[in-house]
Amino acid sequence: MPFVVPLTRREAVERQLREEIVSGMLPAGTVIKDAEVAARLGVSITPVREAIAQLAAEGLIDIAPNRTRHVTRVTQKNALELIDVMGVLACAGFEWGVHNLTGSHLARLRERLGEFEANLRAGNVTAAGGAGADFSTIVILASGNRELQTHVDLVVARTLRLLALTADSAAWQVWTQGYRETLACLEADDRPGAVARYRQIFVEYRAVVETMLFDQDSAQG
């Protein structure tokens, strides 16, 4: 069995809060209080503060000038900006890595796609988003560019949160169909076709998000 390094308290708190934010369990605008989180998770204040600092760096938590922390509000404007940034980074990595893919990589892509679709059917958008992110990561890492993957990781949690907030059939269909067709191109050894189809996912998803209403937009006026 592979050796798994146990999570530190900070990492455990960070993972728990991230999952709660991404899943919508902690809605946008929710105030995050160090002492309450520490008591709920059974840890001291220090790992909670460290975890909140990391999640703030990822854009999941806003820290106001008065030091009040709350779950970041998602407006249509910043949702579209996030899609644009994620698209540029992910598509660059996908294009650089696609020609290094082996049969083993394709098998892992099929596995992640299966997990992605199975979790969607089960209504588990957090797990589905993770499997979907892994689909892209497999190809990006094949490029050998670790620096790019680091930057992708910085926005992936925010992207997963956006997916959780827009978990209707039309939005998810863009990703399921896009991943299926991208994989089909790869299995046919049509690497340029796979890159083009992967890029199209972000174009189509952006168009879907442009048609959605975001309550926070009107609230922030």
- Is residue 153 very low, low, confident or very high in pLDDT (cuts 50, 70, 90)? confident
Residue 220, pLDDT above cutoff 50? no
Residue 1, pLDDT above cutoff 60? no
Extract the tokens encoding 108. 């892992």
Instruction: Give residue 45's pLDDT.
Output: 94
CB 162 within 8 A of CB 212: no
Residue 21, pLDDT above cutoff 90? no
Instruction: Give residue 150's pLDDT.
Output: 79
Distance of CA 212 to the CA centre of its chain: 19
Instruction: Give residue 7's pLDDT.
Output: 77
Instruction: Give residue 135's pLDDT.
Output: 95
**Secondary structure class of 72 (helix, strand, coil):** coil
- Is residue 27 very low, low, confident or very high in pLDDT (cuts 50, 70, 90)? confident
Q: Taking Cα atoms as reference points, which of 103, 221, 123 lies closest to residue 172?
A: 123
List strands edge to edge, sheet with 31-32: 31-32, 69-71, 61-63
Length of the chain: 221
Instruction: Give residue 217's pLDDT.
Output: 46
Instruction: Give residue 201's pLDDT.
Output: 96
Give the residue-averaged pLDDT of 182-209. 96
Q: What DSSP line would sit under 182-211, residue for residue?
A: HHHHHHTT-HHHHHHHHHHHHHHHHHHHHT
Q: What percent of the chain has pLDDT over 70?
A: 89
Q: Taking Cα atoms as reference points, which of 16, 19, 52 lies closest to residue 33?
A: 52
Residue 160, pLDDT above cutoff 80? no
Contacts with 24 (C-beta within 8 Å, 6 or more apart), sequence order? 164, 165
φ and ψ at 101, to 5 degrees?
-70, 140
Give the residue-averaged pLDDT of 16-26. 85
Q: Determine if the pTM surpasses 0.85.
A: no
What is the SS3 string spanning 131-189?
A: HHHHHHHHHHHHCCCHHHHHHHHHHHHHHHHHHHHCCCHHHHHHHHHHHHHHHHHHHCC
Instruction: Give residue 70's pLDDT.
Output: 93
CB 10 within 8 A of CB 51: yes
Give the residue-averaged pLDDT of 63-79. 86
Residue 156, pLDDT above cutoff 90? no
Distance of CA 34 to the CA centre of its chain: 25
Instruction: Give residue 104's pLDDT.
Output: 97
Give the DSSP H/E element, type plus range, for residue 49.
helix 45-57
Residue 107, pLDDT above cutoff 50? yes
pLDDT digits (tens, 9 = 90+) for 123-135: 887 788 889 989 9
- Is residue 69 very low, low, confident or very high in pLDDT (cuts 50, 70, 90)? very high
Q: Higher-confidence residue: 140 or 221?
A: 140
